[in-house]
Structure 1
Amino acid sequence: MTGPSPRGPELGPIGDKILFENEYVRIWSVKLDPGERQSWHQHHLPYVIVPMTEGKNIMYFEDGREKETAETVGGVLWREAGAPHELLNISDWQYRNVLIEIKTAPAGGQ
């Protein structure tokens, strides 16, 4: 099925599991098999995506916008916190990334 799925009242998690967390960052593992959707979720923090595989996905937003993504291994993407969305893997391979939420800067700026 293409197009967004119905959004329920509850939003899902950012990723599959938290790999690491401290007062500065929260690091998630994200995996989507071909045709699989990451449930509706929302980022309340800015974040960095580090693709572990190539990615060919569509982001669906609540307001009807769609954004196709083409991620490459070795690339890094910066994204600001934003509106609820879901992600659909439109490739014929498993998509994986590591997603790093930025909580706060360390004291002293370093």
Structure 2
Amino acid sequence: MTRAQAVPTVQVDNERVTVTEWRFAPGAETGHHRHGYDYVVVPMTSGPLRLQTPAGEVTSQLVAGQAYYRPAGVEHNVINAHEGECVFVEIEIKRPPADGAAS
């Protein structure tokens, strides 16, 4: 089954951070990807998201305004499992690892 793609809008992109608004129609997905940076997500809407990961599939409940943090290396496909639109803002924190090695 082919799903609609979530729509990203980059709001800020500089050497320190990338801030992206993500909009998901019902059933839309990001496609499988791996996060190269630590990141924070700030949900603008509440509702369930399905996460397809290498370990399996889980459902996560977003709460508008309740931010969460994830470390670099997370791999998943994010799918809107809600009947309405899902919107969140993702802030990727671009910085070299503590040991100074390239990421």
For residues 28-107 of structure 1, the aligned pairs below 5 Å read 28-61=20-53, 63-104=54-95
Query: Sequence identity of aligned pairs in percent?
Result: 29
2:101 alignment partner in structure 1: none
Matched residues in 1 for 2:25 and 2:41: separation?
Answer: 18
Higher strand share: 2
After TM superposition, the score normalised by the length of structure 2 is 0.80
Gap regions ≥5 residues in structure 1: 6-14, 106-110
Tell me the SS of whatever aligns to 2:32: strand
RMSD between aligned residues = 2.1
Deviating beyond 6 angstroms after TM superposition, the runs of 4 or more aligned structure 1 residues are: none
After TM superposition, the score normalised by the length of structure 1 is 0.75
